Amino acid sequence: MSVTEQFYGACAEHSLTRWEHHVTDDAPTFDAPWSVGLLSAKIKGYIDRLGTAWIEGEITQWGVSGGNVYGKLKDLTADATVSFTIWSSVRGKIPDDLKQGDRVIALVKPNYWVKGGTLTMQVFEMRHVGLGDLLERLERLRALLASEGLFDPARKKPLPFLPQRIGLITGKDSDAEKDVLRNAQLRWPAVEFRVIHAAVQGERVVSEVTAAIHELDADPEVDVIIVARGGGDFQNLLGFSDESLVRAAAACRTPLVSAIGHEADRPLLDEVADLRASTPTDAAKRVVPDVSEELSRVQQSRARLGMRLTSFLANEIDRVEQLRSRPALATTSWIVDSRAEDLTRYVARGVELTGRMLERAENQVAELRAHVRALSPQRTLDRGYAIAQLPSGSVLRAAGQAPAATELLLTLAEGSIRATSTGPVADPHDGGQSK
């Protein structure tokens, strides 16, 4: 909890206690309400009894009128703002160089103005926040973000070679805007910009620059984002070290270039950006290629390519000429002459092997033919046997199958004849049994 929050918490608790005590004693009712003046007087009485407190914040408004200073002080982290007044009688205790955007510590006492019904802080002392304190806070935040890997070079995205559209976040009508646009268009006239004007100093830096980063990152036509400002003192650049702005830049999917232009105390945006440019002009030169330089490189590359191609072709032509000059390629008849004898020998050998194979095959066929003929029924017929077939075509195997007057077909070794059975006859070798 900040000093401001602690102070207002104490004020609220003290006022509530006083109010409850008074209500218990003499509470207003519907029939007997308080007047506005009475309520205002009681509120002023409660507030006047509050003591002074040291608070810290950023000056967001600073105006001088009649020797008095009227301004506003904003909390550094929370969305809280209070008005303050510095009377001319205490101006001697206030530094002369205070201005809007400064971070200060002030000794204040709340003051309620009854006539206007407003609450303001009467300032008795005001001084700059010590530079050492700011640097210590900045280094703590730097160490925290570094431990999370947000400064790791490995996570930095490369810039596109030729961006079609560049997102530019800068102050309206600022020199930084003019430098970026002029130098980029001189280098590549066809380049396009989408410019978002944002505060680059004061209390609105963080909110407006962060919103601009989100908006440009969501635009698919934007290839790279440049955040540009023309330098400044340490306190004016503190907004670019705000944690929420730095984290928004780290989460940006589009390559982001920081061109704050501050060398001595580098804002944290420089550390988390994908590229840090020393000035807005440097950012334009590093994001946009020079068309004349690129054309010169193309011409040089074409010249080198032509020279290498010419040299390669010349070497190949020399090699072909050397090959053609060899005796083997001087005349083509040597190939036929040297291979003619080999061809004749291979043909004769092929004929010889083919003849042997055919001879062996003929012998095998003759042997197989002899085996087949030996087992053939024709051989049996050649020895004087005959095959008797019944009218049905089946072979006659027993005498009983051919009773008398049965027509038979007898197949002989050469031709066939028809016969008629006279019936079975007695076989003298089996005791008179008929066959």
Buried b / exposed e over 303-337, threshold 16 CB at 10 Å, is: eeeeeeeeeeeeeeeeeeeeeeeeeeeeeeeeeee
For residue 132, the model assigns a pLDDT of 59
Is residue 361 included in any domain, yes or no?
no
Buried b / exposed e over 231-256, threshold 16 CB at 10 Å, is: bbeebbbbbbbbeebbbbbbebebbb
Q: What's the CATH code of the domain at 264?
A: 3.40.50.261
Instruction: Identify the domain boundary among 93, 109, 129.
Output: 129
Instruction: Identify the domain boundary among 129, 144, 172.
Output: 129
Is residue 67 included in any domain, yes or no?
yes
Per-residue pLDDT 10s for the chain (435 aa) are 443 444 444 444 444 444 444 444 467 888 888 888 888 888 888 888 888 888 988 888 888 888 899 999 988 777 888 999 999 888 877 888 788 877 888 899 999 988 888 889 999 988 877 665 667 778 888 899 999 999 999 999 999 998 999 999 999 989 899 999 999 999 999 899 999 999 988 778 899 999 999 999 999 999 999 999 977 766 678 889 889 999 999 999 999 999 986 666 578 999 999 999 988 999 999 999 988 888 888 899 999 999 999 999 999 999 988 887 777 676 767 777 778 888 888 999 999 999 999 999 999 999 998 888 777 777 777 777 888 888 888 888 888 888 888 888 888 878 888 888 887 876 666 554 444
Nearest to 204 by CA among 61, 97, 4: 61
Is residue 118 included in any domain, yes or no?
yes
Residue 302 CB partners (closer than 8 Å, separation 6+): none
CA 207 to the chain's CA centroid: 28
Residue 105 CB partners (closer than 8 Å, separation 6+): 54, 55, 56, 126, 127, 128, 129
For residue 285, the model assigns a pLDDT of 92
159 in the same domain as 260: yes
111 in the same domain as 10: yes
- Pairwise CA distance, residues 16 & 28, whole Å: 16
- Pairwise CA distance, residues 254 & 221, whole Å: 10
155 in the same domain as 52: no
Domain that holds residue 242: 134-289
123 in the same domain as 161: no
For residue 5, the model assigns a pLDDT of 44
Q: Are 389 and 409 in contact (CB under 8 A)?
A: yes
Helix (H, G, I), strand (E, B) or coil at 26: helix
Nearest to 86 by CA among 129, 121, 51: 121
Is residue 334 included in any domain, yes or no?
no
Is residue 124 included in any domain, yes or no?
yes
- Pairwise CA distance, residues 409 & 8, whole Å: 141
Count of structural domains within the chain = 3
pTM over 0.75: no
112 in the same domain as 142: no
392 in the same domain as 247: no
Instruction: Identify the domain boundary among 266, 289, 312.
Output: 289
Q: Are 176 and 259 in contact (CB under 8 A)?
A: yes
184 in the same domain as 152: yes
Q: Are 57 and 77 in contact (CB under 8 A)?
A: no
Containing H/E element for 306?
helix 291-324
Is residue 404 included in any domain, yes or no?
yes
Is residue 354 included in any domain, yes or no?
no
**Where do runs of H (alpha helix) occur along 325-424?**
327-330, 333-375, 377-382
For residue 6, the model assigns a pLDDT of 45
Q: Are 389 and 408 in contact (CB under 8 A)?
A: yes
138 in the same domain as 230: yes
For residue 103, the model assigns a pLDDT of 82
Read off the tokens for 201: 């100093």
108 in the same domain as 169: no
Is residue 396 included in any domain, yes or no?
yes
For residue 317, the model assigns a pLDDT of 92
177 in the same domain as 211: yes
Buried b / exposed e over 364-396, threshold 16 CB at 10 Å, is: eeeeeeeeeeeeeeeeeeeeeeeebebeeeeeb
Read off the tokens for 125: 């002392």
For residue 400, the model assigns a pLDDT of 82
